[in-house]
Structure 1
Amino acid sequence: MMEQLAPAGVFLLALTAVFGAMWLWTRARSRERQEDMLMRLRAGEDVALAGGSGEEEHIANPLLRWACHLVWRTGADTEPAMVMRWMIAFALLVPVALVLMGWLAGLVMIGIVLVMTWAVLSRQAAKRRARIIEQLPDFLDNVMRVLSAGNSLEEALIVSSQEASEPLRGLFVSVGRQIRLGASVENVLADMAEIHRIRDLRVMSMAASINRKYGGSLREIFRSLIQAIRSRDMAARELRALTAETRFSAVVLAVIPVGLMLYILASNPGYYSDMWADTGGRWMLIGSAAFQVAGVFVIWRMLASVQDGDA
């Protein structure tokens, strides 16, 4: 048993070391950029960082764009080139896993790593998005006060971002940086809304676009948006409280089959290999995997329906 599990341990150790090294390198780069940005802001410079944020770049590759958006939603200031290196490193570890663990166990392990990575990043992004939405009403209040003093929307966003708290501050500092580079505020807000999946930023983008074309009072729109955010947050809290038991049951139902499969695979690695060698057993495994994936997807959609409206 220990000899059969040894390749899995070697693969996991190598994978952990690779991702750990990349994570430390990314944190160091992110800290350097933050310190550089703060020094520029203190000096009163209006010029953006030469490289820019990864969120400002247009990526043609749809897979790389999806991966970059997933990483950026967690608040990491990671360049697309670095995300591409992560993907290449993982792709190079795939044949290693298949050779060390066998193709069946290797595919299972690769799938588990991918799902766990996606789940961790999505969870961190959801927490960050919830904090941003929680801070947004106070931020809009500050923007309204700056607008009342006769400033433009661009100036109001830049000034208010300096007084905001993280993670909202980092998001709108990036918005202000792109505005100073010449981008229109509605386009920047629309891009941020798409990347971070925050519907309220899309509303702000539409309000800025309408105000630019036809005029009108931005303060009234922002006041209505603040009331809508607070009402939606109160309704979401009540809904989560009413459905807590149901959501817990759904998570248990989704986790039990996967846990049972991993237990069988660890205790008897040849069990699934023997089933796969038989035609009937192969179709049973394929059907079970398909039903499990479909069930987890349905449960995930059910859980997402009781989260905030921007998920």
Structure 2
Amino acid sequence: MSSQAWFAAALFVGSLATLLVMVQLGWGYLRSRRQINQAIRTRLTPANENSGLGGARVDLGPLEKLLVQGDIRWSMQRLVMMSVVLLLALAMVAVSRGVVVLLVVLFFVVTVIGIWWRMRFQKQRQVIHEELPGVMAAVLRNIDAGRSLEHSLIAAFDESSPVFSPLVFRLRNAIEAGREYTRLFEDFAELYKVPAMVLVAIALRTTSRFGSSIRPVLEQVSTSLRSQQALRQEFMAATAETRFTAISFAIIPPALAAFMVLINQEYSDALLNTSTGHSLLLIAGVLQMVGMLVMWRMIQGVGRG
């Protein structure tokens, strides 16, 4: 490349780095203000209100929520470094190949990241659905062994998968502080889109309010969860072919387009360096997004958010 191109690339990278630093500073300022406001609200809340239904909650920020849902255990420094590397790579693509190639690469990058995060999120939900009936059975066994309900819950969830770690940590703190903890199960159900956890919260809240025995309620909840899990497995097995077809139809067109661009230089030049090719790329991208959205809505079913 010429000296002017290198200068433009260096100027673009410098501007991008400055923008990233400004965004990081702004994010840190907003996060600190949010923590201060939350601390003020906690101090101004009366003690009797804290002990009621508004007790312990699972309060996560937008970025932290996405990381927890996808079981991504990255530090903030690592996340920032990977974001910087990705932005620099996109900047080099924009400088060397143009804006159109940048948009195509950005589409593929966003699609791959979204699919990867969705797969991890669905894996987390599957683990919760599979282990929750066993956790309720473990709670009953701990109660039979002479433990209290609170310690039985902590012991049962401690022996489960790490996916329950955010719940166990807050549950233990709430119980040790003597706060209301049933809302934690509702927040956890909303976090992972698992309605079965709401049944557990209702059972615990009913017992704490009316003083009834927790054993028959938990037995009914465990039976209901096992029935739901059996129905969900039957549904997933019955729709496996449809879901595989939908995923194939969503992946094959962009993969085939990328393969044709890589092996055919003339086709690549006509597609990336002419106005007609740009129009075709725009139309294909819009149609691909619409098709993926339609198929995603079609394969939604039991256990899917």
TM-score, reference length from structure 1: 0.66
- Is the 8 Å Cα contact of residues 140 and 218 (structure 2) preserved in structure 1? yes
1:188 to 2:184 alignment: yes
1:309 to 2:296 alignment: no
Compared CA separation, residues 270 and 71, structure 1 to 2 (3 A): same
- Give the superposition deviation at 1:81: 6.8
Cα RMSD (Å): 3.0
Letter in 2 for 1:273: L
Q: Structure 1: give runs of 5+ residues left out of the alignment.
A: 1-54, 60-64
- Give the superposition deviation at 1:141: 0.8
1:36-55 correspondence runs (5 A): none
Letter in 1 for 2:303: G
1:167 to 2:162 alignment: yes
Compared CA separation, residues 78 and 194, structure 1 to 2 (3 A): farther
1:242 to 2:238 alignment: yes
Equivalent residue, structure 2, for 1:35: none
Equivalent residue, structure 2, for 1:40: none
- Is the 8 Å Cα contact of residues 132 and 167 (structure 1) preserved in structure 2? no
Letter in 2 for 1:123: M
1:7-46 correspondence runs (5 A): none
Give the Cα separation in 2 of the matches to 1:310 and 1:154.
Answer: 30
More contact order relative to length (CA 8 Å, sep ≥ 6)? 2
Q: State, as a whole percentage, how many aligned pairs show the same letter.
A: 23
- Is the 8 Å Cα contact of residues 167 and 188 (structure 2) preserved in structure 1? no
- Is the 8 Å Cα contact of residues 138 and 156 (structure 2) preserved in structure 1? yes
Compared CA separation, residues 227 and 180, structure 1 to 2 (3 A): closer
1:255 to 2:251 alignment: yes
- Is the 8 Å Cα contact of residues 139 and 152 (structure 2) preserved in structure 1? yes
Aligned counterpart for 1:219 among listed residues 215, 238, 244: 215
Compared CA separation, residues 146 and 285, structure 1 to 2 (3 A): same
Give the Cα separation in 2 of the matches to 1:259 and 1:82.
Answer: 29
Give the Cα separation in 1 of the matches to 2:232 and 2:303.
Answer: 9
Give the Cα separation in 1 of the matches to 2:175 and 2:80.
Answer: 29
- Is the 8 Å Cα contact of residues 73 and 128 (structure 1) preserved in structure 2? yes
Equivalent pairs counted in the alignment come to 245
Compared CA separation, residues 93 and 209, structure 1 to 2 (3 A): farther
- Is the 8 Å Cα contact of residues 189 and 197 (structure 2) preserved in structure 1? yes
Letter in 2 for 1:309: G
Give the Cα separation in 1 of the matches to 2:199 and 2:249.
Answer: 37
Give the Cα separation in 2 of the matches to 1:71 and 1:117.
Answer: 13
1:271 to 2:266 alignment: no
- Give the superposition deviation at 1:107: 1.8
TM-score, reference length from structure 2: 0.67
Aligned counterpart for 2:101 among listed residues 83, 102, 105: 105
- Give the superposition deviation at 1:83: 4.4
Give the Cα separation in 2 of the matches to 1:230 and 1:193.
Answer: 17
- Give the superposition deviation at 1:201: 2.0
Q: Structure 2: give runs of 5+ residues left out of the alignment.
A: 1-56
- Give the superposition deviation at 1:295: 1.0
